[in-house]
Amino acid sequence: MTSTPEAAASATTATPVSAADLTATELLARFHTGELSPVEATEATLARIAEADQAVNAFCLVDRERALQQARASEARWARGEPDGALDGVPTSIKDIFLTKDWPTLRGSRTVEPAQSWTVDAPTVARLREHNAVFVGKTTTPELAWKGVTDNTLSGITRNPWDTARTPGGSSGGAAAAVALGMAPLAIGTDGGGSVRIPAAFCGIFTIKPTYGLIPHYPASPFGTLAHAGPMTTTVTETALMLDVLTGPDSRDWSALAQPAGSFLDGLDDGVRGLRIAFSPDLGFAHADPEVAEAVARAAEVFTELGATVERADPGFSDPVADFHVLWFAGAAKSVEHLDERQRQLLDPGLREIVEQGLTYSAQDYLEATNTRMALGQRMGAFHETYDLLLTPTVGIPPFEAGLEAPAGSDSPRWTGWTPFTYPFNMTQQPASSVPCGFTSDGLPIGLQIVGPRHGDGRVLRASRAFEQARPWSRPRR
């Protein structure tokens, strides 16, 4: 389950051997011509899951019969020339954080009782269902999505498709691994501190954490307005297509933004010529592995080739990790406040630790962390008056050993110790994508993070698409 950069490059031009290797737009085009049916696509996806998931453990639930039932209904609509929705018949996975009608949502926790009534769809799931995506199953998450890797005591360790000894990142690690291996071309994840961007970088796929509130969220996250939802796909176009679906209104989210007036596909190929882009290899305080730093620096040069003005510039803030911990650990404590002592003993030991720390914070501590957050947002707002976009590494290190919260020898035992490039932009609520931009000498993917101002999601997607066209990437081949 490993690959090399050379193999990945040759795979870019390889003919897909299965419908499971097609993107969502390729599937939809073949549904339109009758070359392929939703049933055939779903069967190929389910076969890929059966073939590949034993090695990576990306799914905690696969519902073959329900998926094929949805696919047959889609096939009938296409046969009548009456497809219904932007994703009609496209196999899709759901992170096991989102409520899903008729499926248990266990959130990777032994404290959730599966034998109960499951009658509600989260907004993301509801929008995907309205557009007739085919749900093949639910993907793995660390317990309550609390950390930047994916393992839990309920379903075990999820592994990286490029090297199964390594972590796929998290908390949307199952979703990223599934997309990377063709186990459904579309996935939905969550991101409270990097949880779609970290695994996208580690697994070599594309994602965006959109501006906070752009994708409605329900139930409200105990992590508050740090928590975003985000699409995870193989290409920028697929992500833009999913955003058009996921940004549909939902009254259950009191903090949701108004639905965008246009499509995220509009202007996607307009390029970056004339944009002024900042490149910060370390944000002024972080560290990146030399191979990661070199790949990201080369990626930044591509934007100059594409007609943008690229300058080395740091935003000018110090590491906000202490304040992020107050917000995050207090949220973790909130998420388990309903549990009795026996149930708390079932929690991931690391989660128990941050819950105990979260309980020590006062309201004044939380307000002070919020004040730091507001100041950070103001600084980034001013920064983007000068720069249209900011480029950084997504993660400063390559994927490390699966089953660990932090790499061996890390200065910090917490996942935040190795993710300084991601959580600041949850605090500021800015859109940020992760674009594959190269490989380590071991053949492990590296991600470039593209950060835009709040509400600049279209600009981030446009820049991501320009880079994708200039430096195409590919899934791992088994």
CB 386 within 8 A of CB 280: no
For 313-327, the pLDDT digits (tens) are 999 999 999 999 999
Fold of 5-470: Amidase signature (AS) enzymes (3.90.1300)
State residue 477's pLDDT score.
53
List the catalytic residue out of 93, 109, 155, 171.
171
Give the integer Cα–Cα distance in Å for 212 and 430: 7
- Mean pLDDT, residues 386-393: 98
* pLDDT given for residue 346 in this prediction: 97
Task: Encode pLDDT of 141-199 as tens digits.
Answer: 999 999 999 999 999 999 999 999 999 999 999 999 999 999 999 999 999 999 999 99
pLDDT at residue number 9: 40
> Hey, what are 284's tokens?
């002024």
* pLDDT at 473 (0 to 100): 86
- Backbone torsions φ then ψ of 299, nearest 5 degrees: -65, -40
- Whose CA is closest to 435, among 210, 229, 205, 237? 205
Does 15 score more than 90 pLDDT?
Answer: no
In the chain, where are the structural domains located? 5-470
Average pLDDT over residues 434-447: 97
Does the CA dihedral 183-186-192-198 come out positive or negative? Answer: positive
- pLDDT-derived band at 474 (thresholds 50, 70, 90) equals confident
% of the chain beyond a pLDDT of 90: 95
Reported as a single tens digit per residue, the pLDDT across 211-247 is 999 999 999 999 999 999 999 999 999 999 999 999 9
pLDDT tops 70 at residue 4: no
Beta carbons of 232 and 141 less than 8 angstroms apart = no
Is 171 considered catalytic here? yes
- Mean of per-residue pLDDT scores for the chain: 95
- The H helix count followed by the E strand count for the chain is 15, 13
Cα separation of 369 and 377, whole Å?
A: 12
Which runs of consecutive H residues, i.e. helices, occur in 80-166?
123-130
Three-class SS state of 391: strand
What's this model's pTM, rounded to 2 decimal places?
0.96
Q: Find how far residue 12's CA is from the centre of its chain.
A: 22
Which structure tokens are listed for 83? 């497809």
Q: Which of 37, 95, 172, 221 is catalytic?
A: 95
The answer to whether 37 is a known catalytic residue is no
Residue with tokens 């393992």: 151
The two tokens of residue 442 are 């071991």
Average pLDDT over residues 69-95: 98
In this prediction, residue 14 has a pLDDT band, given cuts at 50, 70 and 90, of: very low
The yes-or-no answer on residue 209 being catalytic is no
Q: Which residue among 195, 221, 434, 464 is the active-site one?
A: 195
- Across the range 464-468, mean pLDDT stands at 98
pLDDT digits (tens, 9 = 90+) for 238-278: 999 999 999 999 999 999 999 999 999 999 999 999 999 99
Token pair, residue 82, equals 């009456």
Phi, psi for residue 197 in degrees, rounded to 5: -75, -40
